Amino acid sequence: MNFSNQLENKLQLLKARRAPIKLGAIYAESALWLAPMSAICDAPFRLLMQELGAGATVSELISCHGINYNNEQTRRMLRILPQETNIGLQLFGEDPLAMATSAKVAQEFNPKWIDINMGCPVRKVVTKGSGSALLKDTSKLGHFFSTIKKALEVPLTIKIRTGWDAQTINALEVIRIAREEGVEFVAIHGRTRTQQYTGFADWDLLENIASDSPLPIIGNGDLHSTPLVQNRMKRTKCQALMLGRGPLRNPFLFLEPYIEENDQFVFTPADYWEVVQRYHHLLENFVDRERTMIVQLRKLIVWMAAGFPHVAQFRGQLFETQDLQGILKISENYFMGLMDAGFHHKNIDLNSPFMAGGHG
């Protein structure tokens, strides 16, 4: 199942307005990229976002130790679909040799680059010395980066936070070390590790870092709506922006910022229903177990329905339904019912917490 002509025409019109960019050796058709999110950014979801306008995508974080131990589930996370054109595989770990070994394996799956996760704030990652824990002792980073870089034939990139806590804002120091060791670009989430996903991303700090950085910077954090993305695109000094949680509720967020005042269209509930169907089709060709497919599909449907009328009732029906066809039928009735009732717009409270536990 591909998109209808009506939706495809909207997508192609907006894609044509994007400006291509180059970050080091990495080329992308747009400066709006999909941020890596744990348990979300598998191959079907990445390809879906690519089709909906993401200039590039990054995998969910993948354990270097799981790769090196030849764990089947971990190795499956390295899979890249043939249609994916601009994908980085993100690895996490604390040991440079283990990371280098796993990176050599990961590049056999033909990513455009390998990314090091230095931003995940989750306790089970941090307590082992990986994720954002790597920001605590910058004296080790030169050796860490160079060991991994030597193992690679594709570019190496990193994703970091602004620092461990408010007293140790050291992103620029990390970036300068990364440049010395041949890292291609740096993505920065505008919070410290101790903030987790609370408060707000510090975009003033991100812009200052981007102004002083010797490497291309991708800014990330709190770009949840089309107006927020549009405003940031107009004034940012970052070379690109990463969108994470926002596209879960609005899968058209990579393209809506390119809509102009005289355009005579919006993305409607019928378009959302097409996205659901497309995601189902991609999952069918990727996931072996129907139960896994149901879990993945249902959570995306719930996120995408946010902001539409009567969503609480719809969400209850979805979780009461345990079979795939029933979930699809209920979803079709809901989204197309909104069309019939003339509801074409969402109303999302951007101040309410959304996935505050974090996914990357």
Q: Work out the pLDDT band at 353, boundaries 50, 70, 90.
A: low
Integer Cα distance of 210 and 204 in angstroms:
10
Nearest 5°: phi and psi at 320? Answer: -80, -20
CA pair distance 61, 159, nearest whole angstrom? 11
Task: Report the distance separating Cα 341 and Cα 310, nearest Å.
Answer: 12
Tokens 């280098």 appear where?
100
Burial 250-259 (b: 16+ CB within 10 A, else e): bbbbbbbbbb
Instruction: Select which of 41, 64, 120, 238 is catalytic.
Output: 120
Query: Confidence band (pLDDT; 50, 70, 90) for 2?
Result: confident
Question: What is the per-residue pLDDT across 92-121, written as a single tens digit (0 to 9) for each?
Answer: 999 999 999 999 999 999 999 999 999 999
Q: How many CB atoms lie within 10 A of CB 70?
A: 9
Position 352 scores a pLDDT of 65
The whole-chain average pLDDT of the chain stands at: 95
From CA 118, how far away is CA 112, in angstroms rounded? 19
Please, which residues have CB within 8 angstroms of residue 169's CB and are 6 or more apart in sequence?
Answer: 162, 163, 192, 205
Banded model confidence at residue 346, pLDDT cuts 50, 70, 90: confident
- pLDDT higher than threshold 80 for residue 359: no
Separation of alpha carbons 120 and 60, rounded Å: 11
What is this structure's pTM?
A: 0.96
What is the rounded distance in angstroms from the CA atom of residue 169 to the CA atom of residue 47? 35
Indicate the SS3 state at residue 51.
helix
- Reported as a single tens digit per residue, the pLDDT across 138-193 is 999 999 999 999 999 999 999 999 999 999 999 999 999 999 999 999 999 999 99
pLDDT class of 360 with cuts at 50, 70, 90: very low
272-331 pLDDT tens trace: 999 999 999 999 999 989 999 999 999 999 999 999 999 999 999 999 999 999 999 999
Position 260, amino acid: E
Annotation marks residue 120 as catalytic = yes
The C-alpha atoms of residue 342 and residue 331 are separated, in whole angstroms, by 17
The reported pLDDT for the residue numbered 135 is 98
- The distance of Cα 107 from the centroid of its chain, to the nearest Å, equals 20
- Where do the domains of the chain lie, and which CATH numbers do they carry? 8-258 (3.20.20.70), 269-340 (1.10.1200)
Residue 253 has pLDDT above 80, yes or no: yes
Q: What is the pLDDT of residue 349?
A: 74
Q: Band of the pLDDT at 357, cuts 50, 70, 90?
A: low
Contact yes or no for 98/141 (Cβ under 8 A)? no
More confident position, 45 or 354: 45
Residue 288: its pLDDT value, please? 87
pLDDT of residue 356: 59
